[in-house]
Amino acid sequence: MTTLLNLHRVKYQCSCGSFKSLCYLYFCRHCLKIKCKDCVILEVDCRFCPSCYEHLQSHEAITRKNRCQSCFSCPCCNHTLVTRATNTSAAMPVSLNTTPDSGNTGGGDADESISSTNVSGLQTPSKKVYYLACSVCRWSTRDIRLADQPTLNSWKAQDNIHEGRFNELLQHYKQIATREKQERDRKRYSTVKLRSALPTATTSRSSSDKYGLLAPVTRRGIRTSGILKSPSLAESPNPTNSTLKPSDPITEIEPLDENLFLSNTFDFNKLTTITQRLNSVEIQPLIVDRLYPLAKHFTSKQSKRCKECDHNVLKPEPSPKLIKFKLHQMALFFIPEIRIWHHPAWSTTESNPCVLSIVNQLDEQTTLKLYTLDEIREENTDKDLIDRINQLDEYILTSQLTLPMTKDRSVKLHPHVEPNETDTKLDDEFRQNDSRELVLYRKFAKIAIRCYIKLKSSSVKTILGAFIIEHRVVGISPIVSTPTAISSNPVTRNVRHIILIDFGPTDKPALTLHSSLA
């Protein structure tokens, strides 16, 4: 149980060569390879507010600068602000409470007449107003003297004094990007072959074009003809250069007064932190009294696509209120999970017996084969796998992992389902066929195997070992135009994975043996 949360101890090699924990990997069922976050393409499916679940299209979210107009975050602790309502009493006119003759009397008599009129049964008019408050740090909009709003969601964004300058720069660089794109397209289509083909492409549709197949060619010719006639980047005038004013650099900085922090008027509690300033990057307030509620950032649901075969490995539901997935191909659901169960106090001269646990996450029975690195070298069938093993053994590994048996080192794993009477009998059969030298413990989808670790040298500080597993996976056959009996069957293949295990430092004490193995 001590290694339950140590996910970094056992890592699997991705198809790109990097080692990641199994919970951070994906498995593509089309190319039958492990994929990490660097081997997939991210695609944004929807953008929504995590507080009110407002769902917007991409162009609408970009127009709002990926911020919600109804929800706000606390500028101090970044928690969600709560809208609170309160009643305010409006001042009653004096003419309703006094008579024309009251002006001739003294001030005390007038006050008595007003108070008696209010107490006599006339209700003071009230108005409901709203303000924002944080339930964590107790910050509210009243702390910065922000006026209460008469309606919900009527808080406006804080004015940015640099907004005009930002818009000028944005338009300037947009024009430069457009001109650079036209220059690239002009060089791309400025071939003699394309120039000669333009007249025929831009002419009227031929009478033989019965099904409109030449329409895309015609549109392409019209676009490229305009590109070829456009001036180059050096020849075209740039009207923005004359109107855009360059920024004025700061050459001298006023030195800080040494007595500033020693004076009694300076209060550190009123200064904002770096995080609070960067959250309001447009204003960057220096004191707490200038903090303003932050509009909630939109979050997104992303689908992940394999770079090699261009198929999805992760596809969530489009609705922001659903946490289900249309397609969820995590490697944890297709590859057996391996963890460290026991290791002794390390010896630098002898082989150290260790125990590893293997859990089958599939809903079907799996046969797992175990190989050492030397056995794969002796087979000499997969050169790519051998090259990766040699690099791993030369630069990373500090120990040699061996397994007790030398022939027919395969174990059967029970499916990861709720067991019944039939599964119990099948588990008993598996237990009888297991080799006592290799399998030490079995309980349905989980087994424990024995291995030995021998350090390469006595100067090793961190123990790293590796071995290889092989199991059968069921893939998805590619779509073909003519269905056949062979293509209708799912693709099955035996795949191999390199497992890198970090047993920790050599001076680490022994890991307690499980009670079922004692």
What's the CA gap between 507 and 463, in Å, rounded? 10
Band of the pLDDT at 516, cuts 50, 70, 90? low
User: Would you state the pLDDT for residue 227?
Assistant: 46
State yes or no: pLDDT of 499 exceeds 90. Answer: yes
Which comes out higher in pLDDT, residue 502 or 216? Answer: 502
Q: Parallel, antiparallel, or unpaired for β 446-455 and 439-443?
A: antiparallel
Per domain, the residue ranges of the chain are 67-87+127-178+268-297, 335-480+487-505
Residues contacting residue 73 through CB under 8 Å, at least 6 positions apart: 79, 80, 81, 293, 294, 295, 296, 297
What's the rounded mean pLDDT across residues 46-66? 88
Band of the pLDDT at 240, cuts 50, 70, 90? very low
Which comes out higher in pLDDT, residue 241 or 133? Answer: 133
Q: Mean of the per-residue pLDDT values for the chain?
A: 79
Residue type at 6 in one-letter notation: N
User: Would you state the pLDDT for residue 306?
Assistant: 92
User: Would you state the pLDDT for residue 500?
Assistant: 94
> Which of 160, 174, 159, 161 lies closest to 244, judged by CA?
174
What's the rounded mean pLDDT across residues 14-37? 92
- Name the token pair of 7: 């996910």
Task: Kindly list the strands in the beta sheet with 325-328, ordered across the sheet, starting from the edge strand earlier in the chain.
Answer: 55-56, 40-48, 299-306, 312-316, 325-328
State yes or no: pLDDT of 357 exceeds 50. Answer: yes
User: Would you state the pLDDT for residue 108?
Assistant: 46
User: Would you state the pLDDT for residue 105?
Assistant: 41
User: Would you state the pLDDT for residue 321?
Assistant: 87
What's the CA gap between 488 and 59, in Å, rounded? 41
31-35, 197-201, 410-414: range with highest mean pLDDT:
31-35
**How many Cα atoms within 13 Å fall on the side-chain side of residue 230?**
21
State yes or no: pLDDT of 328 exceeds 50. Answer: yes
User: Could you report how far apart the first and last alpha carbons of the chain are, in Å?
Assistant: 15
Band of the pLDDT at 149, cuts 50, 70, 90? confident
Q: How many C-beta atoms surround the C-beta of residue 516 within 10 A?
A: 10
How confident is the model over 100-128, as pLDDT tens digits?
444 444 444 444 443 444 544 555 667 88
Lowest mean pLDDT segment, chosen from 49-63, 365-379, 402-416: 402-416
**SS3 state at 506:** coil
What's the rounded mean pLDDT across residues 142-169? 84
* Main-chain dihedrals φ then ψ at residue 190, nearest 5 degrees: -90, 50
What's the CA gap between 40 and 255, in Å, rounded? 51
> Which of 500, 376, 395, 387 lies closest to 456, judged by CA?
395
Largest CA distance in the chain: 118
pTM over 0.75: no
Phi-psi sector, 263: left (phi>0), alpha (psi -120 to 50), beta: beta
Band of the pLDDT at 485, cuts 50, 70, 90? very low
Please, is 295 exposed, middle or buried when counting C-beta atoms within 10 Å of its C-beta (0-12, 13-18, 19+)? buried
What's the CA gap between 417 and 426, in Å, rounded? 13
Residues contacting residue 284 through CB under 8 Å, at least 6 positions apart: 277, 278
**β-bridge mates for residue 41, sequence order:** 305
User: Would you state the pLDDT for residue 388?
Assistant: 92
What's the CA gap between 131 and 150, in Å, rounded? 9
* Main-chain dihedrals φ then ψ at residue 296, nearest 5 degrees: -65, 135
User: Would you state the pLDDT for residue 250?
Assistant: 84
Q: Is residue 137 within 8 Å of residue 79, measured between CB atoms?
A: yes
User: Would you state the pLDDT for residue 453?
Assistant: 93
Residues contacting residue 389 through CB under 8 Å, at least 6 positions apart: 373, 376, 377, 466, 468, 498
User: Would you state the pLDDT for residue 401?
Assistant: 92
State yes or no: pLDDT of 89 exceeds 50. Answer: yes
**β-bridge mates for residue 339, sequence order:** 357
State yes or no: pLDDT of 4 exceeds 80. Answer: no
User: Would you state the pLDDT for residue 201?
Assistant: 45
Reported as type and span, the H/E element at residue 468 is: strand 462-475
> Which of 332, 240, 334, 271 lies closest to 30, judged by CA?
334
- Name the token pair of 153: 């969601």
User: Would you state the pLDDT for residue 316?
Assistant: 92
Which comes out higher in pLDDT, residue 469 or 219? Answer: 469
Band of the pLDDT at 258, cuts 50, 70, 90? confident
DSSP type of residue 207: T
Residue type at 214 in one-letter notation: L
